[in-house]
Amino acid sequence: MASTIQPQIPKLSKDNYEDWCIQMKAFFGSQDLWEIIADGYEEPTTEQEAAYITEQKINLKDQIKKDKKALFLIYQGLDDSTFERINEATSCKQAWETLSTIFKDDDRVKRVRLQILRAEFEATHIKEGENIGDYFSRLLITVNNLKRNCEKIEDIRVIEKILRSLTTKFEHMVMAIEELKDIEKLSIKELMESLQVHEQRMQKNAGSILEHALQSKLTLNE
């Protein structure tokens, strides 16, 4: 006799709620359980149930069985923290609707967080006196936070942001990079290294000019 293989229940996470719903609806449909989740059932009072005829009692028993089976299968798709948030649900319909509320609320929070991070990304500029390494580190913290919140942000977007947010002392270097390099193939690391080399040259030149000015001053004072 062939054994029945139970399909694996997809796992719900904070990032896949919509996809999880689609998969679970298809699964519950295949198990003749979606109707009990979508519509629920009316549990009769003791007096009402006592007046049921045999067919009604059989139907009620079948609905209760389907409800508990569907509720169990929903629980199987949850991690411990999500289970804790819905474990007081008394029916599969209530559990499903509670999950919808939780994840729609979470999605709203995520959208607000993304709006804040996007604004922070756009507003970030190199500060006066800040070196290239520190600026990149500061900006990339925001970039990583965006990615952790499921924002798709490619290197080219970050590179273009950096090039337009530098101070005027990098203007010639930015023009050279845009003219001589294919920035779509340029990595963030390569850009940082190029800018750091330029920064070091500017610092060296500034030091030479200062040293020359001091020597000139000393000569004049002799």
Q: State how far the Cα of 100 lies from the Cα of 86, in Å rounded to an integer.
A: 11
Q: Which of 105, 137, 165 is the last residue of a domain?
A: 105
Q: Which of 61, 78, 105 is the last residue of a domain?
A: 105
- Looking at the fold, whether 162 and 198 belong to one and the same domain comes out as yes
Note the pLDDT of residue 5: 58
Domain annotation covers residue 10: no
Domain annotation covers residue 5: no
Question: Domain count of the chain?
Answer: 2
DSSP states along the chain: -PPPPPPPPPPP-TT-HHHHHHHHHHHHHHTT-HHHHHH---PPPHHHHHT--HHHHHHHHHHHHHHHHHHHHHHHT--HHHHHHHTT-SSHHHHHHHHHHHHHHHHHHHHHHHHHHHHHHHH--PPTT--HHHHHHHHHHHHHHHHHTT----HHHHHHHHHHSS-GGGHHHHHHHHHHS-TTT--HHHHHHHHHHHHHHHHHHHHHHHHHHHHHHHHHH-
The answer to whether residues 86 and 78 touch, using CB atoms and an 8 Å cutoff, is yes
Domain annotation covers residue 11: no
Q: State how far the Cα of 180 lies from the Cα of 176, in Å rounded to an integer.
A: 6
- Looking at the fold, whether 89 and 162 belong to one and the same domain comes out as no
Across residues 55-65, what is the average pLDDT?
A: 91
* Cα dihedral: 189, 190, 191, 192 (round 10): 50
The answer to whether residues 38 and 93 touch, using CB atoms and an 8 Å cutoff, is yes
**pLDDT over 50 (residue 215):** no
Across residues 53-75, what is the average pLDDT?
A: 92
Least confident of 77-91, 142-156, 168-182: 168-182
Across residues 162-173, what is the average pLDDT?
A: 90
Note the pLDDT of residue 218: 39
**pLDDT over 80 (residue 182):** no
Query: What are the CA-CA distances from residue 197 to residues 184, 191, 200 (Å)?
Result: 21, 10, 5
Note the pLDDT of residue 139: 96
Question: Positive or negative CA dihedral for 164, 166, 169, 174?
Answer: negative
Q: Which of 76, 105, 134 is the last residue of a domain?
A: 105
Note the pLDDT of residue 216: 39
Domain annotation covers residue 128: yes
**pLDDT over 60 (residue 57):** yes
- Looking at the fold, whether 148 and 98 belong to one and the same domain comes out as no
Note the pLDDT of residue 1: 45
**pLDDT over 70 (residue 2):** no
pLDDT tens string 10-19: 999 877 888 8
Q: Where residue 165 falls among pLDDT bands split at 50, 70, 90?
A: very high
Q: State how far the Cα of 110 lies from the Cα of 43, in Å rounded to an integer.
A: 37
pTM: 0.55
Q: Where residue 109 falls among pLDDT bands split at 50, 70, 90?
A: confident
pLDDT tens string 118-138: 999 999 999 988 999 999 999
Domain annotation covers residue 95: yes
Query: Taking all residues of the chain, what is their mean pLDDT, rounded to a whole number?
Result: 85
Across residues 213-221, what is the average pLDDT?
A: 42
Note the pLDDT of residue 103: 87
Q: State how far the Cα of 20 lies from the Cα of 10, in Å rounded to an integer.
A: 7
Question: Which is higher by pLDDT, 153 or 217?
Answer: 153
Query: What are the CA-CA distances from residue 56 to residues 43, 53, 63 (Å)?
Result: 12, 5, 10
Q: Where residue 44 falls among pLDDT bands split at 50, 70, 90?
A: confident
Domain that holds residue 169: 124-221
- Looking at the fold, whether 96 and 128 belong to one and the same domain comes out as no
